Amino acid sequence: MTKLSVNINKVATIRNARGGNLPDVVRFASDCERFGAQGITVHPRPDQRHIRYSDVRQLKPVITTEFNIEGNPVPSFVELVSEVLPTQVTLVPDTDNVLTSNAGWDTVKHFHFLKDIVAQFHSLGIRVSIFIDPVPALIENAKLTGTDRVELYTEAYAARYAANREAAIATYVEAANVAHSLDLGLNAGHDLNLHNLSYFKQRIPFLDEVSIGHALISDALYLGIEDTIHQYLSCLDEKPRY
């Protein structure tokens, strides 16, 4: 089974545009679970321009599925994750000034740093995933850090999908097979949507989890969040669970 984890950052972006608590991100997360999502993802950045650290603390006791916190393991992030103790932490090498995540880890250059961070989170019982480009050598080095999973950065796949989906998926299939052969769990995320998700899952059937936010929340503006989640689950060959 491939789990759908809904990234609710964009819901917080809408709230923050006007202040107050509308929409309520905690209620939204609970509703996503009620409509069939098997996980909730948040990406609290140091500038807290969407999900705030306080949101993360309020979400933890409410979420009944899997809670995935992603971000760059700067000291404040490590402290937050260590306090909240989510199901999974996804390490993403984004800097303060990026609009959205735009690259995976260089697991060779940052090997010792990643190994230490993985060990620190493992000591707290937290599953660790490393955000990574679909490069076999980087995945092989990720394995050496002790991480449980890797999350394939799928922007390149999404960008090339319309022109030639076979070419777009090729490097991802190779990378996924390498991860699978190393007994690494496999996640994916970034720019996956209702148009390209089914084919991705079809070609990589052992995918553990997809984390989708921007496209899913955008679709919900037209379809409503309940129907949107059902359609994404259908792309993953999963039926809604209530």
pLDDT interval class at 242 (50, 70, 90): very low
What's the confidence (pLDDT) of residue 46? 83
What's the confidence (pLDDT) of residue 102? 66
Which residue out of 43, 50, 66, 151 is catalytically annotated? 43
Is residue 50 annotated as part of the catalytic site, yes or no? no
30 burial via Cβ count (<10 Å: 0-12, 13-18, 19+): middle
Report field, pTM of the whole predicted structure over 0.85: yes
Residue 19, CA distances (Å) to 43, 108, 136, 175, 229 in order: 19, 42, 44, 42, 27
What's the confidence (pLDDT) of residue 158? 98
Residue 212 has pLDDT above 70, yes or no: yes
Give the separation between CA 75 and CA 82, rounded to whole angstroms.
Answer: 10
Which residue out of 66, 151, 190, 209 is catalytically annotated? 190
Mean pLDDT (the chain, rounded): 95
Is residue 43 annotated as part of the catalytic site, yes or no? yes
Residue 100 has pLDDT above 70, yes or no: no
